Each structure stands twice: as C-alpha cells, then as structure tokens.
Structure 1
Amino acid sequence: MQDPSGDTPARDLGPRPDSLNRSFPESIMIDKDLDGDTLREECGVFGIFGHPEAAAITALGLHALQHRGQEAAGIVSFDGGRFHSERRLGLVGDTFSRREVIERLPGSAAVGHVRYSTTGETILRNVQPLFAELNAGGFAVGHNGNLTNGLTLRRELVRGGAMMQSTTDTEVILHLVAQSKRNHFIDRFIEALRAIEGAYSLVALTNKKLVGARDPLGIRPLVLGELDGCPILASETCALDIIGAKYIRDIENGEVIVFDESGVQSHKPFPPQDPRPCLFEYIYFARPDSVLGGRPVYDVRKAIGAELARESHVESDVIVPVPDSGVPAAIGYSQHSGVPFELGIIRNHYVGRTFIQPTQSIRELGVRMKHSANRAAIEGKRIVLIDDSLVRGTTSKKIVKMMREAGAREVHFRIASPPITHPDFYGIDMPDRAHLLAATRTIEEMRDLIGCDSLAFLTVDGLYRAMGEPGRDPAHPKFTDHYFTGDYPTPLTDQNHTETTPRQLSLLAEAS
C-alpha cells in the first residue's frame, strides 16, 4: 500500500461569512418547539470511489439521507491532483442541486455528510466532511455517531499542542491520525480507531483510498453498494436506491474496509464481539424503505405496531398515526386489531425545522403549523393515537388537545417503543434524564399531563419480539437499548469523569 502524497492542497469554496450569520429583529422569534418533542440523530454519510460523476452521485445520496441531518451538508472530492470542498448550512437541495456547485467538485472519488449538531454548534467550521493536510497527504472524514471519550481525548490533544479548528468530536479523529507514527495510512487510521470509544460509522478519503469503518458493536449503520463497478458506502440502503446502485452487504461491526486502485481490503482490528445495532434506527431514524441488518425497516415498524396491539389494545373505532414516523406502526396495529386505519392527522410538509413566528399569539398555535386534525375521520369516534416515541410530552399534549377539539370522543395514546428513561451518548440528540418524561413520572402521571384517556408503551420484550427475537436476554442483549434499560454497551469516559449533562459536555468541548 502506498500513502497519499503530500502535494494536494485543499480548496474550500464555502459561502462567504456574511451569508452565515444573518440576524433577525428581536420581535421575530425562531421557534424550534415544533420539533422540541422529537429525537434527532446526528448525521448520515456517503462515499464513492472511481466514478467520473462522483460529486453528483454523492449529492443524490445525501439527498436520500436528508432525514438523518437537516442542519448542514458537505462534500469533499478528489480529482487526482487536488481536493475540493463544498460545505453549506441548510438542506442538500438548496445547494448541491445547482450545476455550478457540482462543477466545483471535480474528480472520481468523493465523500459527503449531512448533520445535526449533537456536539458542537451549527456553524460552518463544524460542517463535515472535515479536511486536513497531514504529513502523509490530504485526509477528509465524515462521522455518524458520537464518541463517549471525545472530550477526554480532546483535552489531552490540546494539552499536547493540538490546535482545534472545530467544536465537533470528529476532529479528534483527524488529530489522532495526524499524530500516529505508523508508516502506512491504514495503520495510522486503525491506531486512531483503537483510541476512541462510543458509536461511529466513518467514511474517509485520501488521494489514493476510500475508507469505511464501523464501531466494534455496530451501533451506527453503514452499508456497501456498487454502481457501474464502483464501490459506495452509505448510512442506509435508501441512498443506494436513489442512484440505482446494487446493495452488496452491511459493513460488519468492527470492520475497516479500504478501496483503492488495487481493489478492496477488509481489516478486523478489534476482538470479535456480537453486534448491538441501535434500536432507534428501526423505531425512528432510518427511512422506512431502508434495509438494516437484513431487516426491512418498514416491516419492523409494522411488526412493532402489531406487538403494541397485542399488548395494549383498547376498544376503539379508528387507528390514527402521528405522521409521518407513526404511520407504519399504526398500519401494523390496525391490521392486527382489525380496527380501521385513518389519517386523522394531516402533516404540513412545507414547514421546516424552524418556523419564524412574529407574535406570541401565533407562536401559541405551535403544533398546528406542522399538523392539523382531519375532523371528518375522527369526529365522534374513539381513536387510538399511535406515535413512535415519547420524549418530553410537549407535542403529544398539543396533539391530544387538537384531537379533542376536532371532536374525538376518546383519545387513547399508544407509543410504539418502551418508555425512554435514560439519556443517550451515542449520537442521538436527547435531553438529560431530568427532562425525559418517562424518567420522572409514572404512566398515570404522564397520562394526566398529556390529557389522553389511556396511555401505554410497548414493552422492551415486545420490541425484541418485533425484531424477530424471543425477548431481551439481559445477559446478552442483541441491540443497543440503553435509553430504555440503562444498559450502556460501552464505557462512558467523558460522562464518568464529570457530573455534567451531555449538553454541558458539548459546551465544555466548545470552550476547550
């Protein structure tokens, strides 16, 4: 194997600074409450090697992964002599659909990234893929997940003289690779992986190689595809479908896969472990048309709904999903219970993640900006309302109230996942435990707060049955499920070294 040469300077053609920090009058408020009761996953990654339209294909792949991150997007390409970088705040389609942008990303190899911010602010310097000129050559990396020792490593690196340019834990990986004394790039990359803990799926690009890596437990997904004989790495199979690529296989837990002109090499640098993929990928994060770990996500969500009906069905007239994520589970619930499925809530798809609301009176309309009741489907009826999860309960309370105001005679709330009782440290933007409703209240207290006639969650064993397992084996759980059980599958180095919350840890990282 040859290392990348060192004569490939980066060219970053990002937006001008004056376009990044537009301010609004004080009377205009940015309201994120429309999404304040949902979970957000950190990001999605994509990479392709050896294709003449690498950047355009990467942009399409990122468009398919847009649900995994809507705050920022970036692509780094390599044209055989130079790296080229385009990074933007906002949606993929707002920038990378323009021909002139793609033309600034020449080359036959590219990696891309869409993100939410779980560590670090949403500012341009945090937008991935991150790029650095190392002594062995250019290196770009995109990361899906979160490092549970990222802050600890960051502090050690800074004390050793490293100068951090971003506030995201992904930059730690760049510095670890840069400081390695190994001779070959892949050995340096693997040495960096041995130092980090937590959840990660990585795509990386040098001037010779496309590299993919998945953490030893396979918490975050990464799949391998092929288009016109060229390898593709992506967070989900839906990114392969949009470009007409063939699915080959999932990258295995703990695997490092390398593509270069000589072919493909697979490395297994970690001791073998049973995989423990994240259950929330199946419950919420992955697109319903994706296939993860051999399981069609749509089928899993319908099976979850059927299990929910087995465990907690109540006499009712219609089954109503909270769109869009509650729809497959509601279909499964309806099919098992025999109660008709109705679209009792209509979603407005033209409201973004933030909605500028100029007055408090309009602001109080809240959830109606995103959802509206379909009175004809629910008036005078006993409804079972199906949602994928319950976090703070603020949106659920508003939706139940909206159903009653539209004439629902009874509102029974069913949650297609177990109660969330513990925070996440692996890339899910989740409140600390004090702000998780199920961690601080009983079922009856939650029911009273939300205002529904009855409330029930899927059990942990029911969720495992929906995944095709007989139940959860406490000694050998097959999935990452700590948000329901408190069973964290990796060390929590940063958390154990401080008494701070995940959000406070993020602020500390920004200050370091």
Structure 2
Amino acid sequence: MCGIIGIVSHSAVNQELYDGLTVLQHRGQDAAGIVTSDGRHLCLRRKNGLVKEAFRTSSHMRKLKGKMGIGHVRYPTAGSSSQAEAQPFYVNSPYGISLAHNGNLTNSSSLQRELFEQDRRQINTESDSEVLLNIFAQELHHQNSYRVTPDDIFKAVAGVHKRCKGAYAVVAMITRDGIVGFRDPHGIRPLIYGARKTEGGIDYMLASESTSLVTQGYEVVRDIMPGEAIYITHDGEVHTKQCAENPTYNTCLFEYVYFARPDSVIDNVFVHKARMRMGHKLAEKVQNEWKDHDIDVVIPIPDTSRTSALEMAMTLGVSYREGFIKNRYIGRTFIMPGQKQRKKSVRQKLNPIDLEFKGKNVMLVDDSIVRGTTSKEIVQMVRDSGAKKVYFASASPPVRYPNIYGIDMPAANELIAHDRTEGEIAELMGVDRLIYQDLNDLKDSITEGNNELVEFDCSVFNGEYITGENKAYFDELQQKRADSSKKKKNKRAAVDMCNSQ
C-alpha cells in the first residue's frame, strides 16, 4: 500500500506536494519522493524515511522547481526496502516520463522478461512499479507521435490494461506535457481528483484519498473509475476516457477497514461512517449470538478501531474506555520482519492503563487480526493489568489468505487464521471469547454508503482473486514474503543505505 499525488498548478507545486504527502503518510512510512517539472527540466528527490525526513532542509524544497509534479510515499510489499526502489521512477524515452504507483502487479516477472527480450528495456530494481513505468512508456512509444496527444495517452493506457495484471492506481508526469492518472480495470486501489479556482486559473490535483485534496483547498470532483484514465495538460485542459474493455468495480475492502484515513471518502463512501456501521454490526452479532454477555467495558486497540469500538459500545449499552497509551513513533507491526522484532515493538508501541482493566470483563476491539502476534501480546498485557476476562472482536472477518494487490500481508502459513477454526484462533490468542465480523456484514457496511458498489476485493477473507492467479505465482510470493527472505533483503537495503551516505 502506498500513497500517490499529482498536481498541475498555476504556481509552484513543491510545498503542496509535500503537504499532500504528509496527509498520506499513513499509507507509506518507508520512503518518500517528489519529482517536479518546469516544462523543460525535471527536479527529483526521493529517500528512505518519512516525508519530513526525506525533505528535511529548505534546500531540498527549493530545488523542486516547477508548476507540475507528482509524489509518492512507499509502503514496501514483496520487494526490497532499498532506497533505489523509492519512487517516483523516471524513464527518458519517450518524452521523459515519471511515475508513482500504488498496488502490485501479479505478472511482473513475465512482464520484465518481455521488456528485456522484446522491447529492449532494462529493469534495474526489484520493483514492479519500474516495470509498470516501462510498460506505459513502451505503449506510448508505439504511438509514434512527435508531440503527445490525449488520444496517444489513452491508447497507451489501454495497452497497459491489456498487458498488466493486478492492482494499480497510477500518477505519471510527462515532462513537458502534463499529468496522467489511471486505475486498473477492477478499481482495486483508489484514485480521486479535485479542482481549485485561483486568480491564475483552475488548479488540479490527483491523490489516493480525498483528504489530501481537501486539506489543500481543492474541491473533490469525483473518483477515477476502474479502467479510466485522466490526462491534465500543463495548461489545465482535462481529458478523460474509459480505456478498459470490461471494467468492473472491485474496490479493496481493507481500504475501509484499516488503511484509509477516517476523514476520507473513497469511491463515494465516507470511511468514518463505514467504520461506524462495522461496529454496529459487530454489536448486533453479540446481541444475536451471546444474549447473556457479561461485557463490562469496550476498549479499542488504537487507532483505526476507535470508531468501530465506540459504536459497538453504544449499541450494546456498555462503557467505552481508552485503555492504551500509544507511542506514535513506532511503525506498523505487521510489516516488520521477524517475530522477535514484532513482539518487542508491541510492548514499545502500546502501554495499558491498568485501572481501566483491573477486575473487569473487557471486550477488546481491533480492525483486523493478521499474524496474531500483536493481538496475543496485547491480550497478555491486558491480563497482566488485572482483567478478569478478556474478549476480542475483529471489525473484519478472519484473514486467511495473503494479499497480492499491494498490502504486505504475509505468506499464508504466517497468518493466524489460515487453516484454523475460530476456536483454535481464540485458544492461540489466549482470549475467553473471539468474535469476527461476518463478510456479508462488512460488505453491507460499505454498500450502505454507495449501493453502486456490489462486488469487492475480498481475497484475504475468501481466497477469491479477481485477477485469477495460478499456483506458481503464490509459490513465488510465499518465498518472497517469508520472514527469512525479508531479513536478507533488509540486510541488502542496509548496505545500500550505507553506500549512499
């Protein structure tokens, strides 16, 4: 999962790109990058770390000249954490194209061979985003135009759709011409655009989430549709076209459960309201299946689950309390390699307030349970704080299968719910009772906000992958995502970092 942004403006865009990326920081904390254009030259900076670490001096910002640019915050998936894989990527031919990508190509390996053997293009990193850039560049090269036109752009995006499998939301910049945005034909990853009136004219912005637009003073126009492309020229002309033959809406459920900011609107659904409905439906499940429950207090595991936990408590008519103090300077635990590092991180990240737990029957609420390492550690902390009984509710169904569309959920055998019953999971976690959201209730929580959304990417819950991957791909993915493999990659990344300093 990553965050992407693109701006075409009548004034310098460096500060707005920086500010927009900070709003999207929750979508990627591993690396950040910005590339701008003054119409003739590109100005690029990308570096591992948070946005404020990548652009830590005024000189970094002053060098990003121009009224057009794109930006990216990276959240690594199966690839390396090397600084060489920080985005945006750039390729010179044709026209000079920069690209930032959110998602994951599931046929990246075969595309890389095609690019090398047929298109004579060299890929220098392990990143599928570099592959995607070169596919787009090659499709644009086939148009054989001296000056790029909207029709050239749309034909190139159509070519990308035919060659690429997986999830991709993209912003790309053609150095002298404009900004391009497009989504894969299933709309798995989000992309939205907005406009802002200024004295010089209308400025335009593309981003992963609406919040990034609104905080910069842009009015949301609409989401980019699955398979659709938008081309905004450097002088503000807007062109859109559906470029996929059979687009479908299969937006990722996990955007609403976990990744998106609660103040965002994705595919015309208010994330905050969707999470409220998740909590309400969890409470209804308790009322239907556990009528004589003895829950004294509902406590969220911060931060994402707060909205669902509060609504659950209100519906059940029990107390809601904040029971954990969170250290906000520790990264997300399920993307950290190695069980020891994850366990240590949980204790550093959350500290229980003992008086909220002592002598009580506690219902803990979290957005999801992935490996279960974090959840198990938290349950033990709560028991150590004196809780009488510990119950656990997940706002999403059991995560039984790996994610292949841009979220670094591990190999299947590292998921606590894989090939286990809910009773076995509860025993492993050490809880007195475990409650999972039903998949249909999760879907309803979102479709109540937009009844045009009918089908979703539910693959982590039901194992049904809309792009139809084969066993060979999952074998390759499992090898890449194993903890031992990640340790080797992180060691290489550390060497790269030392060499660059």
TM-score in terms of structure 1 length: 0.85
Q: Summarize the Cα distance change of 1:361–1:263 in structure 2 as closer, same or farther, 3 Å threshold.
A: closer
Helix, strand or coil at the partner of 2:227: coil
Distance 1:341 1:165 in 2: 52
User: Does structure 1 retain, via aligned residues, the 8 Å contact 2:91–2:134?
Assistant: no
Q: Which residue of 1 aligns with 2:384?
A: 405
Q: Is the 8 A contact 2:330 2:345 kept in 1?
A: no
- Asked if structure 2 preserves the Cα contact closer than 8 Å seen for 1:218 and 1:275, the reply is yes
Q: State the SS of the aligned residue for 2:113.
A: helix
Q: Tell me how far apart the structure 1 counterparts of residues 476 and 280 of structure 2 sit (CA, whole Å).
A: 36
Superposition RMSD in Å: 2.6
2:116: which partner in 1?
Answer: 158
- Going from structure 1 to structure 2, the CA distance change for 1:86 and 1:155 (only over 3 Å counts) comes to same
What are the superposed Cα offsets for residues 386-417 of structure 1, whole Å, 9 maximum, x if unpaired?
01111111111110111111111111111110
Aligned to 1:500: 475
Which structure features the higher share of helix residues? 2
SS at 1:225 equivalent? strand
Q: Does 1:383 align with 2:349?
A: no
Within a 5 Å distance, the mapping from 1:200-239 to structure 2 comes to 200-206=168-174, 207-227=176-196, 228=198, 229-239=202-212
CA distance in 1, matches of 2:439, 2:157: 37
Counterpart of 1:256 in structure 2 is: 229
Task: List aligned pairs for 1:19-418, cutoff 5 A.
Answer: 42-96=1-55, 98-134=57-93, 136-160=94-118, 161-180=120-139, 181-184=142-145, 185=148, 186=153, 187-206=155-174, 207-227=176-196, 228=198, 229-260=202-233, 261=235, 263-313=237-287, 314-352=293-331, 366-418=345-397
Q: CA deviation at 1:177?
A: 3.2
1:244 maps to a residue whose letter is G
Tell me which of 422, 443, 448 is aligned to 2:427.
Answer: 448
Per the TM alignment, residue 166 of structure 1 is displaced from its structure 2 partner at its CA by 1.6
Further displaced range: 479-488 or 182-191: 182-191
Task: Summarize deviations over 1:7-57 as a string: whole Å, max 9, x none.
Answer: xxxxxxxxxxxxxxxxxxxxxxxxxxxxxxxxxxx2110000123221110
The alpha-carbon distance between structure 1 residues 498 and 119, as it changes in their structure 2 partners (threshold 3 A), is closer
Q: 2:499 matched to which residue of 1?
A: none
* Cα shift at 1:251: 0.8
**Equivalent residue letter for 1:404:** R
Give the partner amino acid of 1:156: E
Q: Deviations over 1:156-193 (max 9, x none)?
A: 22334432122101111222234332134413343233
CA contact (8 A) 1:142 1:203 kept: yes
- Gap change, CA 1:461 and 1:361, over 3 Å in 2: closer
Residue 236 of structure 1 aligns to which amino acid in structure 2?
E
**Matches of 2:91 and 2:85, distance apart in 1:** 13
Is the Cα contact below 8 Å between 2:249 and 2:454 reproduced in 1? no
The code of the aligned residue for 2:190 comes to P
The 8 Å contact of residues 59 and 97 in structure 1, kept in 2 or not, is answered as no
How far is 1:120 from its partner? 2.1
SS at match of 2:190: coil
Cα deviations by residue, 1:202-232 (Å, 9 ceiling, x for unpaired): 0000120100001111110001012332110
CA distance in 2, matches of 1:497, 1:450: 32
Q: Does the Cα contact within 8 Å between 2:48 and 2:54 map onto a contact in 1?
A: no
* Residue correspondences, number: 459
Q: Which runs of 5+ in 2 are unaligned?
A: 288-292, 334-338, 493-501
Calculate percent identity across the aligned residue pairs. Answer: 38
Relative to structure 1, is the Cα distance of residues 434 and 169 closer, same or farther in structure 2, using a 3 angstrom cutoff?
same
* Partners of 2:377 and 2:435 in 1: CA distance: 18
One-letter code of the match for 2:267?
Answer: G
Aligned-residue offset at 1:498: 4.7
State yes or no: 1:484 paired with 2:457.
no
1:439 Cα shift? 1.3
CA 327–121 in structure 1, closer or farther in 2 if over 3 Å, else same: same
SS of corresponding position for 1:483? helix
Q: After TM superposition, give the deviation of residue 97 of structure 1 in Å.
A: 5.2
Checking the alignment, whether the CA contact within 8 Å between 1:432 and 1:501 is kept in structure 2 is no
Q: Which amino acid aligns with 2:436?
A: F
Given that 1:203 and 1:233 are in contact with CA atoms closer than 8 Å, whether structure 2 keeps it comes out as yes
Report the Cα offset of residue 288 of structure 1. Answer: 0.8
Tell me the amino acid that sits aligned with residue 52 of structure 1: S
SS where residue 121 of structure 1 aligns?
Answer: coil
1:230-250 superposed Cα distances (whole Å, 9 cap, x missing partner) = 110000011112212211111
Secondary structure, aligned partner of 2:195: strand
Which whole-Å CA distance do the structure 2 matches of 1:363 and 1:485 have between them? 26
Matched residue SS, 1:440:
coil
With over 3 angstroms needed to count, the CA separation of the structure-2 counterparts of 1:92 and 1:170, relative to structure 1, is same
4+ residue stretches of structure 1 with deviation over 6 A?
A: 360-364
Amino acid at match of 1:448: E
- For the Cα contact (< 8 Å) 1:197–1:491, is it kept in 2? no
- CA shift at 1:148, angstroms? 1.3
1: CA distance between counterparts of 2:103 and 2:384? 40
Structure 1 CA distance, aligned partners of 2:211 and 2:322? 25
Distance 2:377 2:249 in 1: 38
Aligned twin of 1:29: none
Counterpart CA distance in 1 for 2:343 and 2:407 is: 27
- Flag the 1:64–1:262 CA change in 2: closer, same or farther, 3 A: closer
Q: How far apart are the structure 2 equivalents of 1:320 and 1:499? A: 37
Of structures 1 and 2, the one scoring higher in RCO (CA 8 A, sep 6+) is: 1
